[in-house]
Amino acid sequence: MKRFLISIAALAALGIAAMHAQADDAHHPKTGAQTIYTVKGEVVEVDKAAGKVKLKHEAVPELEWPAMTMFFSVAEKSQLDGLKMNDQVYFEFVRTNGGSPLITRIKTAN
């Protein structure tokens, strides 16, 4: 049930992002779903109040991002439950219309 609720929250966030994208890109419409990037990383810091997690993540070739340490927002704060420093994780993120990454799924790899 919890997983289901997280999915709903993520879909809602995606829906909002998609609507904004549609409005902005009306003159050159895009087709297909929003790209989801799947990356491996390590938890450096969890800021549950802000709904953010700092991850030391591997490179993301599709975005030409090198490996780095940075904060990501999560779609739903409960996604941070149980995460702690040094956890190895796999996470999925999308980019909002403004380009900011937003984590839609995160799970421990170990």
Q: Which is nearer to Cu ion, 9 or 70 (CB)?
A: 70
Stretch 51-90: interaction string toward Cu ion, x if CB under 5 A: -----------------x-x--------------------
How many residues bind Cu ion (CB under 5 A)? The answer is 2
- Cα 63 from chain centre: 14
Report the amino acid identity of residue 59.
A
- Could you tell me the two tokens for 55? 């991850």
State whether the Cα torsion 28-38-89-67 is positive or negative.
Answer: negative
Q: Which is nearer to Cu ion, 21 or 70 (CB)?
A: 70
